[in-house]
Amino acid sequence: MAEKNHKIRIKDIAVLAGVSEGTVDRVLHNRGDVSDKSREAVTKVLEEMNYSPNLLARSLASKKNYHFVCLFPSFESGEYWESVDKGFKQAALEFLHHNVHIEKKYFNQFDSQSFVSVSESVLKTEPDAVFIAPIFRNETISFINDLNNLAIPYSFIDSMIENTEFNTYYGQNSFQSGFIAAKLLLSSMPDGSQIVVIRTKRKGSVSNQTLTRSNGFNHYIQENNLDNKLNIISAEFNNNDESGNLEILRQIFKQNHTIRAVITFNSRVYRLAMHLEALQQTNVRLIGYDLLEENVKYLKQGIINCLISQRPDKQAYFTVRDMCRKLIFRQEINRINYMPMDVLMKENIEDYVQFNENI
């Protein structure tokens, strides 16, 4: 009985409850000015008929405009945050006719002060919701305090801060993604194999994401007692010194002759691929993270064996969608959402990219 009744209108409810449409509307929106008798009658019919509003008509009629602000790092073409930007753009298009307007505000991810000043300017516009990439922990906590005072809801993207009242968090299960990388890379490695782990010095704060991946990676090694069987070689790259990094790698390969795999936990594995190509060491297994254009290029060439992706564009998209679901459609949502880990190889990357472009 409650199956097909999705076409029940407010008008129908009004007739059945013996009141006017206005009264039904008041009950639906808890706007008061309704006698107990009327309210009960309406509520009863509402339940019996399993009424659900026509969201199209609602958005069309609603005069309320929603102003959402996204606060995340500025980026160059081909960088990680570009995907996030794309996801926000897609959401902006989709929810435009629901009276949602999305404004993007960028800050410098290596300069906490830029975050502070941008966040202050955001507060002044009194947005209806804010999406934050909490790169700077303390500054973000201060910002969300202000948001709380103004009763402005917010969501985290990319990473999150525990014990805060965020609306949603979409992100990676970084520990698991490190663990899986190890599994893909190390299962059935011959004993005595040498594995190179590259880390990169980062200006400013340490990236939590890469650290956690690294922990997951190490956990796999311990759990499978590979400490003794394998020989893990750690090295550190410098940002923006590719000739120096090439040299570091050259030395490692000069001194070690059973290297079978290389891994890095940040998104710039294409640098490694480039250097391995230069060193003619393309037979080692190479694994990395995120579908940057350059990464995909080397994956297709077979120099990178495997990329683990967690669709940053979808993370951004879903974050906006869920805020709409909550504020506009009044639906229940999940607070914490880990994106699936997509394991991409030369063979499935084409379909994957095409599919995601098409959504």
Partner DNA sequence: TTATATTCTGTGTGCGAACACAGTTTGAAA
Partner DNA sequence: TTTCAAACTGTGTTCGCACACAGAATATAA
106 interface partner picked from its own copies, DNA, none, CB below 5 to 8 A per type:
none
Give the nearest distance from C-beta 337 to its own copies in angstroms: 6
Question: Can residue 345 be called a binding residue for its own copies (CB under 8 A)?
Answer: yes
Alpha-carbon gap, residue 198 to 263, rounded angstroms: 6
Distance CA 158, CA 169 (A): 8
Closer CB to DNA, residue 6 or residue 202? 6
Q: Which parts of 62-172 fold into alpha helices (H)?
A: 80-95, 112-124, 137-149
Binding mask 21-50 for DNA (x = CB under 7 A): xxx-xx-xx--xxxxxxxx-----------
Strands 336-338 and 169-171: parallel
Whether residue 233 contacts residue 194, with contact meaning beta carbons closer than 8 Å, is answered with yes
Contact between 342 and DNA by CB under 7 A: the answer reads: no
Binding at 82: pick from DNA, its own copies, none (beta carbon under 5-8 Å per type): none
Is residue 100 a contact point for DNA (CB under 7 A)?
no
Q: Within 10 Å of residue 271's Cβ, how many Cβ atoms?
A: 22
Q: Do 316 and 158 touch, CB atoms closer than 8 A?
A: no
d(CA 281, CA 216): 26
> Which of positions 98-127 make contact with its own copies (CB under 8 A)?
98
What single-letter amino acid sits at 301? Q
Which residue is it, tokens 């990473």? 159
Confirm or reject binding of residue 275 to its own copies (CB under 8 A).
no
Residue 62-81 contact track with DNA, rule CB under 7 A, x = bound: xxx-----------------
Among 2, 3, 4, 7, binds DNA (CB under 7 A): 7
Residue from 9, 101, 229, 297 that binds DNA (CB under 7 A)?
9
Is residue 131 helix, strand or coil? Answer: strand
- Is 334 an interacting residue with respect to its own copies (CB under 8 A)? yes
For residue 217, the minimal CB distance to DNA (Å) is: 50
Q: How far is the CB of 311 from its own copies (least distance, A)?
A: 10
Pairwise CA distance, residues 169 & 166, whole Å? 7
Single out the segment in contact with its own copies by CB under 8 A; choices: 10-18, 109-117, 185-193, 264-272. 185-193
Query: Residue 149 CA to chain centroid, in angstroms?
Result: 26
- Contact footprint for DNA (CB under 7 A): 7, 9-11, 18-23, 25-26, 28-29, 32-39, 53-54, 57-58, 60-64
